[in-house]
Amino acid sequence: MRAGVVLALSLLLLLGLGLAQEAERGRRRRGGQKRGRNRSLRQNSEALARLRSVPLDGGDDDDASVFIESYKNVNELESSYSVIPGRKGRCMYQGITMFDRAVWSPKPCLTCLCSNGLVACDEVSCPRLRCPRTVIPVGECCPVCSVLVPDGPELSGDSSELNDPGQPLPEPHTQEHMDLLLRREEEAQREEEARLRLLDAERRRKRRQKKLLAKQQKELFEERRREEEALREQMEKEEEEEEQRKRDEEAAAATAERERQQRMEEERRREEDRRRTQEAEQRRLLRVMQEEWGGEGDDFERETRPRPAPRVQEPPAPAPSLPVGCVFADVTVTCKDAHFTNIPPLFIPQLKALSLEGNDITTIPTGAFNGLPKLEWINLSKNRITTSGIDPQVFKGLKFLTRLYMDSNFLDQIPPELPPSLQELKINENNLRGIDENSMQSLQNLVTLELEGNMLSEGNVAPEALQALTQLSYLRLGRNHFRTVPQGLPAALQELHLENNVIEEISESVFNNSRNLNIVVLRHNRLDETMIAPLAWINHKHLESIDLSHNKLYHVPSFLPRSLVHLVLVGNRIERIPGYVFAHMDPGIEYLYLSFNKLESDGVDPLSFFGSLRSMSELFLDHNQLTSVPLAISEMKALRFLRLNDNNMRSVAEDAFCDPMSEEESNLMTLRLENNFIDTRSISPTAFSCIHSYLSVVLQPQKTK
């Protein structure tokens, strides 16, 4: 039994030495490996240390158990084991049951270990020999020197050669060689640990330096923000002071104007008194002259030829006599809120403007303006005038009339016989129930027509009535009952307002005749994107502004005009911006307002803003459901005003607005991010580095969960 133990110890000694040399070569190849590899070397060293205590001349069963206990560390060496599972700590190998911790050699140069039900087998690595001749002894798997080289490091015991790390290690047949191997392993391990400690210390230093730099940048950012807030407060204070100064100046100017009017009124009264005094004096002189030249006698008849009257200098033309409550200035008479029930009689031939706004006038009789032949503007708004109370010929004689305001009365039809010179007609907030084809046939020079707040619809407005207005460029039909855009729009029309109707459809041909349209306002209607004809306005070359806010749109409508610059879609139900929806526009959309919709981040396509990246100047996406900044924002080079407040964003990416690799400054003047869920402490210090002024960035307040 002693011989078997000795043989087993010899095999295991050779195995440990081979593994040690493999570990040394691996250490030299992988000088920068991780700390886990050093753990394996340390375990190898411990195994060799335990092997040193095993007697080489054999021993009893206890010695064998000591050897087997030390062999457990073989499991942790770097090797390619083949693992065979076992049960309850025992191992099955080629039909043979092995107990836990059993070690055996099924064939030469192969050693196996049973550990917790697993079989680990490894081939023995043979060491390199410095011998002229080698032989493999019987029962061995590694060669040995047959004749030792004289004066070689194996026999010389020269410690200088053994300690030279550049020389290959001798075969560790002696205790001294094994100690040298262990010493070198420990030194290499200490050097590696020292190097790792240095690397770890360097990493910690860099982390501390990075944190310190970030802290300094954040402090600098906060300081700049405080300075800019103070500057903004100062500017706001100065603006308030400037506004207060302007208000004071306006109040002073109004007071001065009232005083001037009062002085003029007093001067007019004094002039009237002087005129009356002069007239009374003239009458007295005439009576005296008549008494001197026109007496009677009893005896003879006196010659009665009258003497020539003395020449009297004519007084200057007096100011016109006005009713109480009226003010005369230059060529304008204003009788606002004077409680008149009728148009006051006036005889002022040079008068050009008459305002009777805010009275209780109910009728306009024949000859109401006979004494005012040069009138150009009449304001009869906020009275009680009815259509039946207007004489058919009352306006016909006013050859110079260009503006007529009759808002907030009780008219149910357009007044008849309006003069052809009229250029501006306002009949808002009345009871108009229709416009027949002859109502405005004579108004060939009309430029502005406002008929808001009436009871008009496509059923009671004749297309011929609008077509006759060949010079009309501005038309307001809001707050009526139109379900579709009215037909017969004039060819010269440039601005159309149809807000607050019940419009549900825009047909393909409704704008065909109005090729000069520039502004269309359709807010507060019932439009959705499916009821806008694809060819309704896409080819219009001058249509630059469309207001479709507060309708029933679910996504940004397609086929928008190529020339569109300004688009308002506030207060819809928009969930998506389709890709390429702005791509066909030339030169590109500049103002896009999408506030108060239902946009989410996945509803904004990466190509949603394609075609507008170089033109977009103002983009409002506030009061939506966005969780992140849209990707295209950082590519909008002309963007000046951006609103992303009142969304659901929780973070701001470092490159959301600025390119960290570029030194180019952004054109953003206002960036609003308040009322989100953003942790402002987590924002990168470089996230707003390209923005010229931190005063432009509004981050507070933020919402909490």
pLDDT tens-digit readout, 513-558 = 999 999 999 999 999 999 999 999 999 999 999 999 999 999 999 9
Token look-up 């966005």 returns 626
Burial class (CB in 10 A: 0-12, 13-18, 19+), 501: buried
> Would you say 2 and 39 are in contact if contact means Cβ atoms under 8 Å apart?
no
Residue 403 host element (H or E): strand 403-405
**pLDDT at 543 (0 to 100):** 95
What's CA 545's distance to the chain center, in Å? Answer: 20
The set of residues, in sequence order, having a beta carbon less than 8 Å from that of 413 and lying 6+ positions away, is 387, 432, 433, 434, 439
User: What is the DSSP code (8-state) at residue 87?
Assistant: B
In a domain, 72, yes or no: yes
The contacts of residue 521 (CB under 8 Å, 6+ apart) are 478, 496, 497, 498, 499, 547
Whether residue 55 has pLDDT greater than 50: no
416 domain-assigned: no
Q: How far is CA 584 from CA 246, 337, 529, 574, 633, in A?
A: 47, 54, 18, 21, 19
> Token pair 């009952």 is at which residue?
481
Interval 553-577: pLDDT, tens: 999 999 999 999 999 999 999 999 9
pLDDT in the model for residue 170: 46
Q: Is the peptide bond before 587 cis (omega within 30 degrees of 0)?
A: yes
Residue 53 has what pLDDT? 37
Q: Is the pLDDT of residue 93 over 80?
A: no
Smallest Cα–Cα separation from 229: which of 697, 668, 642? 697
Task: Calculate mean pLDDT across residues 19-30.
Answer: 52
**CA–CA gap between residue 385 and residue 615 (Å, rounded):** 51
User: 422 vs 366, 419, 430, CA distance in Å?
Assistant: 19, 6, 20
**Residue 129 predicted with pLDDT over 50:** yes
Query: pLDDT tens digits for 269-319?
Result: 777 777 777 667 666 665 655 555 444 333 433 333 444 444 444 444 445
Q: Is 80 helix (H, G, I), strand (E, B) or coil?
A: coil
Surface-to-core class of residue 222, CB atoms within 10 Å of its CB (0-12 exposed, 13-18 middle, 19+ buried): exposed
**25-34, 189-198, 434-443, 453-462: segment of lowest average pLDDT:** 25-34
pLDDT at 144 over 60: yes
Strand partners, 698: 672
**DSSP conformation class of 696:** G
Q: Residue 8: its pLDDT value, please?
A: 59
Q: Kind and range of the H or E element at 450?
A: strand 448-450
Reported as a pLDDT band with limits 50, 70 and 90, residue 650 is very high
Upstream peptide bond of 153 is cis (omega within 30 degrees of 0): no
Mean residue pLDDT of the chain comes to 79
d(CA 3, CA 57): 8
Residue 33: the pLDDT is 42
Higher-confidence residue of 517 and 338: namely 517
CA 480 from chain centre, in angstroms, equals 35
What sign does the CA torsion over 217, 222, 223, 224 have? positive
CA 106, CA 477: separation in Å to the nearest integer?
104
The predicted pLDDT at position 112 comes to 83
Distance, in Å, from the CA atom of 458 to the CA atom of 508, rounded to the nearest integer, reads 16
Q: Is 87's pLDDT higher than 80?
A: no
DSSP 8-state class, residue 328: E
Average pLDDT over residues 409-421: 92
Calculate what percentage of the chain has a pLDDT beyond 70: 76
The SS3 assignment for 435 reads: strand
Of residues 183 and 670, the one with the higher pLDDT is 670
pLDDT (0 to 100) of residue 138: 65
Query: Mean pLDDT across the stretch 137-146?
Result: 70
Per-residue confidence band for 4, with pLDDT thresholds at 50, 70 and 90: low
Indicate the SS3 state at residue 693.
coil
Which parts of 30-147 fold into alpha helices (H)?
Answer: 35-52, 61-71
Q: How confident is the model at residue 11 (pLDDT cuts 50, 70, 90)?
A: low
| Residue 412: per-residue pLDDT | 93
Number of domains in the chain: 1
pLDDT grade for 104, boundaries at 50, 70 and 90:
confident
Question: At residue 98, does pLDDT exceed 70?
Answer: yes
- Whether 643 is in a domain gets the answer no
Question: How many angstroms from the chain centroid is the CA of residue 380?
Answer: 47
∠ Cα 267 268 274 (to 5°): 90
Q: How many whole angstroms separate alpha carbon 469 and alpha carbon 486?
A: 14
Structure token digits, residue 511: 């704008």
State percent of the chain over pLDDT 90.
42
Q: Which residues, including other chains, have CB under 8 Å from residue 483's CB and lie 6 or more apart?
A: 457, 458, 501, 502, 503, 504, 505
Global pTM value: 0.57
The separation between the first and the last C-alpha atoms of the chain, rounded to the nearest angstrom, is 78
Q: What is the distance between the alpha carbons of residues 392 and 412, in angstroms, rounded to a whole number?
A: 15
41 Cβ neighbours under 8 A, 6+ residues apart = 23, 27, 185, 188, 189
Answer yes or no: is 664 within a domain: no
Q: How many angstroms from the chain centroid is the CA of residue 666?
A: 14
Among the ranges 169-173, 454-458, 685-689, which has the highest mean pLDDT value? 454-458
**Per-residue pLDDT averaged across 633-660, rounded?**
92
Please count the residues of the chain.
705
Question: In the structure encoding, which two tokens stand for residue 655, read together?
Answer: 């490159």
Tokens 């083949």, residue?
82
Find the radius of gyration of the CA atoms of the chain: 53
User: Does residue 3 surpass a pLDDT of 60?
Assistant: no
What is the mean predicted confidence (pLDDT) over 402-409?
A: 96
- Specify if 573 maps to a domain: no
In a domain, 406, yes or no: no
Q: At residue 239, does pLDDT exceed 60? A: yes
Q: How many CB atoms lie within 10 A of CB 145?
A: 17
Name the more confident of 215 and 88: 215
Is 398 contained in some domain?
no
What pLDDT sits at residue 95?
72
Domain assignment present for residue 351? The answer is no
| Boundaries of domain holding 127 | 2-146
Residue written as tokens 């100062």?
Answer: 234
* 110-115 sheet: strands from edge to edge: 83-85, 118-123, 110-115, 103-107
pLDDT higher than 80, residue 651:
yes
